Amino acid sequence: MKGFFELHKGGTVGPRAGVVHTDHGDILTPIFMPVGTVGTVKGVHRSELEEDIKAQIILGNTYHLYLRPGTDILRRAGGLHKFNGWDRPILTDSGGFQVFSLADNRKLTEEGAIFRSHIDGSKHFFTPENVVDIQRTIGADIMMAFDECTPGTADYKYAKNSMERTHRWLKRGLERFDSTPDKYGYSQTFFPIVQGCVYPELRRESAKFIADQGREGNAIGGLAVGEPTEKMYEMIEVVNDILPKDRPRYLMGVGTPANLLEGIERGVDMFDCVMPTRNGRNGMLFTRNGIMNMKNKKWADDFSPIDPESDCFVDLQYSKAYLRHLFVSQELLAMQIASIHNLAFYLWLVKEARKHIIAGDFHTWKPMMLERVTRRL
């Protein structure tokens, strides 16, 4: 029988290529996962996700889906796959980050987190156990543990207490997960999350604790939350030195094309971030030759395709001048085109990285690519 993860190339440290097996299909790693917070990748149809962007897995968010449309609707629909028509794998974030960043008047206890909805102010309670139940009902192929998200600027004592609470919550979440069945007849798995802020000894302790749980995959959380970029890379190295090499590593909420390349070089397998869609909606395009601000006057009479080297429909169909016109006219189509372009580029980038890892020349390709993707055009 196939395991959950097969490593094709690489080891504990350094770039890796592998495949994650789920009942909704295989995921070739390294992979970027478009964020579909409320069950939709903003402004993007399913057909575009599949054919143009070539997404292999998307994200949903427990906090948002729990508030709207709610678990009753999702259960009656037969889970999120049936509700939104996406038939490939889905990963759900536990909602921990949103409880700490979006919700009003949140209060943390050992039992869980009490918070008020950012939509209507109604009061709710998340525990490690009910977050498992909610994700079971959403029907995610990969579920995340409910963790406390520590700010990147937290002091050592706060970070240590927060990490220890996350570990205690993890044990409770795992107990609930292991004692409840898969919901819709396909297999669901559960990833713990390494915390520890920017403190190497805490990260090591957390990585060891998470590795000892022996789950099918592991996540690295609490990064890209205000700490310096170099510190983030250092923490990834510290953690990946300890996490088992035969399980996928998921770096949560990261990041720029440069962050992806640096993460891959340090042994990360899975990424997600709102950046390609959020920045795209504001006119920022990431390309293999650098970063473009499509609102700039310089594109006003550039009638060349958005990206002539791409095989994505929008990149070849529309010109830079036309896309700039749409942005300055505040047309919805501008945001759609930019979102599709950016996501297609992110998926192309991780696919290229995989190709070079397998070919054995990632270390010569990466510095050249890093220089290109960080240029301002």
Cβ within 8 Å of residue 259, ≥6 positions away: 224, 229, 232, 271
C-alpha distance across the termini of the chain, in Å = 49
C-alpha to C-alpha distances, 101 to 104, 105, 118, 225, 313, nearest whole angstrom: 9, 11, 10, 11, 36
> How far, CA to CA in Å, does 366 sit from each of 43, 262, 362?
31, 9, 6
From residue 207, how far is each of 132, 146, 242, 252 by CA, in Å? 21, 16, 6, 15
Instruction: State the Cα–Cα distance between residues 110 and 124, nearest whole angstrom.
Output: 15
The candidate with the shortest Cα–Cα distance to 59, out of 20, 78, 86, 96, is: 86
What is d(CA 338, CA 346) in angstroms, rounded to the nearest whole number? 12
Using omega within 30 degrees of 0 as the cis cutoff, is the peptide bond preceding 30 cis? Answer: yes
272 as an active site residue: the answer is yes
- Dihedral sign (CA 200, 204, 205, 207): positive
DSSP type of residue 193: E
Contacts of 9 (CB under 8 A, 6+ apart): 16, 17, 18, 357, 358
315 annotated active-site:
no
Q: Catalytic pick from 52, 93, 141, 269?
A: 93
Q: Which of 52, 269, 272, 307 is catalytic?
A: 272
- Residues taking part in catalysis: 93, 272
